[in-house]
Structure 1
Amino acid sequence: MATCSVGGRQGSAQITSSTAISPVSPFYFTESLSVLRCYIPLLRAKEDVDDPLHDVAAQFLDKVLQDPAAFVRTLAKEYVQCTQKELPLEVLRDMSIATMWSKQHALEQLVMLEVLFRLAWNLVPASGPVVVQLVQTAYETDLGQNQLYVSLLLQDEGAEILQDVECVWLVLLVEAFNLEKVLEDDTLKLVAFHQDASTILSASQQLALVHNLVVCANDPRYGPITLAWACVLFRPHTAAEEQDAIPENYEAFIHRIAFVPESDPPMPLYHHILMWALHSDVDVLRRLETLLNQLGARVTSLAWISGSALTEPNAIAFRAIVEGT
């Protein structure tokens, strides 16, 4: 059985139930994960000019990631495939082996997300197509919970992996929305053709696509993403109020987010979404508190205790997103 592919390449030859429990299996699993994990320190080194490995990392990544945005799209598609990858019948006959391989696939998904986060953090601009790809992937897979063999991942280590996956999805999408730039840029003008494509606001069609996905998710688990999206909507709403004319390609979207007629009193959609996120049934503040204090993405000691599979627990980039939100 082959592991999930990485960058279009399969990670292994065929593995049967007899070889899956051989002494070499742990080594094989570790090496499969290392194929992707090697990107994480390289991406971190490239973004820090003072890092001793900065020049080496930059040269290597410039060769293997000639089109980082295309790599993001490819990796996101392979992530989806990995969540639905079937196990051979000979493996499924032994639940312990099937569980072992299901955990391996989940671990590979987690590392894919860590790489995607690093790419979104500093290398790949949050352009419309990139953000759409990430949001579609997150919602299609239900933040990583939509697994073909989810029943094999509900206990102990498997559940911890899925929790880490969901956590990384939350911080990844918040980063993809580029809130820092969106909220700080109070000079935004809605124009037919934006010169700056570093935020989702520059692409009217993709803006509408992401909006449709975000507002249709009523599960409180998506609360932090929905809250972040309310912040995104604030900027085009206020920009539209200050402009004499709205470009034709933004008219329908601006009209849609202007006011919520059924609200009393009528309020802008971003305000309505904010009120939803703060409602006790959603309790997004408690969800954020959980991210701050309980998950391995921010608390190293907890990551060690719980056996978190994150490559870099409590990474500065993770902390910056969670604490900033």
Structure 2
Amino acid sequence: MRHLATLFLMTPLLINSTAWAEQRWIQGIGYVEPASEIRRLAFKHPGILGEYKIQLGQTVKAGDLLAVQQNIEERAALTVAESQLLEAKADLEKVLAGVNPYEIEAKKNAQRVSALDAEYAHRKLDRIEQLRSNKFASEDDRDLAETNAKLKQADSRRLTAESRYLTHFVRDVDKQLALAQLAVADAQLQSAKQRLAETYLTAPIDGTVLETILRVGESTFSVGSPEPALLLGDMTKLRVRAEIDENYALALKDGQKAIVFGRGLGDKEIPAHVSMVKKIMGKKTVFAKTATERKDIDVIQAFIEPDAEMQVPIGLEVNVKIAID
């Protein structure tokens, strides 16, 4: 295998009878990956893997359930939170209900009747006062009418106060407390639902299950960090992530013609093009495993998209050559 990203000359092409042009190529090495990249899916919180809901190589849709943690405690916490919310709702309804509305209506009707009685007693007192001034009523008649008017007025005020008390039986402080307790119970329920949902691992994209990493019963966290449970990738569109020697970084451009070849492809050469050149340099990670190969050079990554069908395994090491001006 030739040195990574070596620059070489192809056979000159005849342009016309007087001019020749040379097509120059740079060569690199890389590996095949999904255009969506490989998704290393892990659970959000520590736990124990309960079961896989898929099989290796299975095609799934975005949102499909892939794996589940053991979640007996989370399901029990959700049941408790639902019960607490129902209790908080019942307490609020009890506070808001206050007094039976029919009792309040009856008290208001009694208060209106009493107000009419008080008004009649006051008018009767006025008439007794006129009769007394004309010597047609005694002092006792006047005192009796005045006392009766005062009693009727006092009874009307009592019923008014009782109606107001029954109408405002629910205090604002009690109502606010019940509402606050309901809000807390609802928040606890949403938290319990979210925690239970996080014990389920779902597919973020359409793709194929490339690998199941953990075994049922193993921890989904290792040394405080999430442990990937499976690998997922979209096999419908593949590309090559190639590494090119830093000496040719400035010669790379999007859209350049490329060819994918290599030992894993046999004699097959797949036409392709450069879809993107990364804007950052990095250390070499893919090696040709030759005796003269340098391993301490910096490289730039280029994504190579095939222009023809490429049905090969993910991770296959391939060579690429890119045409430059």
Name the TM-score, length of structure 1 as normaliser. Answer: 0.19
Q: Which has the larger radius of gyration?
A: 2
Higher RCO (CA < 8 A, seq sep 6+): 2
Name the TM-score, length of structure 2 as normaliser. Answer: 0.19
Q: In proportion to residue count, which structure has more strand?
A: 2
Q: In proportion to residue count, which structure has more helix?
A: 1
